[in-house]
Amino acid sequence: MKENYHKLSLFFPILFPYLFWMNGSLLGSPITTSYFQVEEGKIAYSKTGDGKRNLILLPGIGDRKESYLELSQLLAKENSVYSFDLRGLGESDISFSSYGPKETAEDILHFIREKDLQNVYIVANSMTAASAVYIRSMEKKRVLGLVLSGPFVRDKADLSFGMKTLIHLAFRGPWGPSAWVSFYESLFPVHPPKDLKERSEKLKQNLSADGRMAAVRAMLFAPKKECEAALNIVRGNVIVVMGTKDPDFDSPEEEANWIGKTLGGEVEMYEGAGHYPFVEDPSRFSSDVQKLWQKN
C-alpha cells in the first residue's frame, strides 16, 4: 500500500512457458511444489537448479512464488533457487493465527535451519524485505547477502482511522480479490508485463479461496517493529532495487537511498519500473543479484 499507504520462432515465446513448466528447464527437472511444516501449518515452496549457493526468493503481500518464475530460471543455472509462498497465500496453509514480516522471517529461519543451508542469499520484495533483514540479523554466518526490491523495512506514520476503514472495506467481502488485483495492476504504471492479465487472474483465483484475503489484510496492518530493529545489526552486501515509478512510495529514490545508507548497501534505480522490477526486467535483476557473490 502507498506509504500515506522462420514461423517456428513466432510460436516459441508461446510454447516456452509450457515447456518450462513441464521440464523445470529445458535441461532440468520438473518444477513441483514442496512443503515444510512449521508449528501452525505448512509453507509451500518450489526448487529449481542445483548449485553451491542457496537463493531464497520471497514475494510481497498478496503475491505468489510463481511471480519469480523468469528470475528463478535465470538464477538456477548456477544456484539452488527456492521460491516461497507466504503463509496464508499461494499454496501455503491458511491455518495460521498471525501474518506479517516477523512471522515470515521465522518461517524462513525454520527452513534454513531444518535444511542446514549454508551460503544463503535472499531476494525479497515489498513487506518481506523487512523479513529478509531480520533473517540475516539472526543468521549472519549462513545468510551472506540480500537484494531488497521495492522494500518496506520500517514503520512510518500510523495509518489514519479512515485509511484503515477504507482498506478493510476494499479488501473484504466477495469483491476483495478483484479490488486487490486492481491494486496489483496499478503497481506497473509504465511497463506492465505482457502477461499481466494472466498473472492477475491467477492471483484473483488464489485470493478467492477462504482465508486468503484475511491473510492479506493481516499483513497490511502488521507492524515491522522487530524487523526494523534489525536494521541496526545488518551491514554490507545488500543491494536495494527500486523502480523510479513505484507508486507505493512518495519518493522511491529517497527511500532507496535511505535504506542503502542504513545498511551499507548499493542502490539500483530501474528507470520507469514500478513495484516489481524483477518482473519488468528479470535479466537486469538477475545480473544485480549476482553482484552479491561476484564482489566477494
Q: What is the pLDDT of residues 146-184, one digit of tens each?
A: 999 999 999 986 666 676 777 777 788 889 999 999 999
Pairwise CA distance, residues 117 & 133, whole Å: 17
Q: Name the band, by pLDDT with cuts 50, 70 and 90, for residue 24.
A: very low
* pLDDT at site 159: 63
Selection from 114, 91, 4 nearest residue 42 by Cα: 91
- Global confidence as pTM: 0.88
* pLDDT at site 32: 92
Of 275 and 162, the structure prediction assigns the larger pLDDT to 275
* pLDDT at site 172: 83
Domain that holds residue 222: 8-294
Residue-wise pLDDT tens digits, 65-88: 999 999 999 999 999 999 999 999
Q: Is the pLDDT of residue 17 over 70?
A: no
* pLDDT at site 156: 80
Q: Is 3 a member of any domain?
A: no
Q: DSSP class of residue 187?
A: T
Residue-wise pLDDT tens digits, 208-256: 999 999 999 999 999 999 999 999 999 999 999 999 999 999 999 999 9
Q: Is 241 a member of any domain?
A: yes
Q: Is 1 a member of any domain?
A: no
Q: Is 217 a member of any domain?
A: yes
Using the structure block, give the residue that is written with the C-alpha cell 526494523.
Answer: 228
* pLDDT at site 10: 37
Q: Is 87 a member of any domain?
A: yes
Q: How many residues does the chain have?
A: 296
| Residue 249 cell numbers, joined | 512510495
Q: Is 148 a member of any domain?
A: yes
Mean pLDDT of 89-102: 97
Q: Is 209 a member of any domain?
A: yes
Q: Is 2 a member of any domain?
A: no
Residues contacting 268, CB < 8 A, separation 6+: 239, 240, 241, 242, 288
* pLDDT at site 161: 64
* pLDDT at site 130: 98
Mean pLDDT of 19-39: 63
Q: Name the band, by pLDDT with cuts 50, 70 and 90, for residue 6.
A: very low
Q: Mark 99-113 as b/e (b = at least 16 C-beta within 10 Å).
A: bbbbbbbbbbbebbe
* pLDDT at site 225: 93
* pLDDT at site 86: 98
* pLDDT at site 166: 75
Pairwise CA distance, residues 295 & 156, whole Å: 33
Mean pLDDT of 115-119: 97
* Sheet strands (E) in the chain: 33-38, 41-48, 53-58, 79-84, 120-125, 143-149, 238-243, 266-270
The answer to whether residues 238 and 210 touch, using CB atoms and an 8 Å cutoff, is no
Q: Is the pLDDT of residue 20 over 60?
A: no
Residue-wise pLDDT tens digits, 45-56: 999 999 989 999
Number of domains present in the structure of the chain: 1
Selection from 23, 16, 80 nearest residue 48 by Cα: 80
CATH code of the domain in which 89 resides:
3.40.50.1820
* pLDDT at site 9: 37
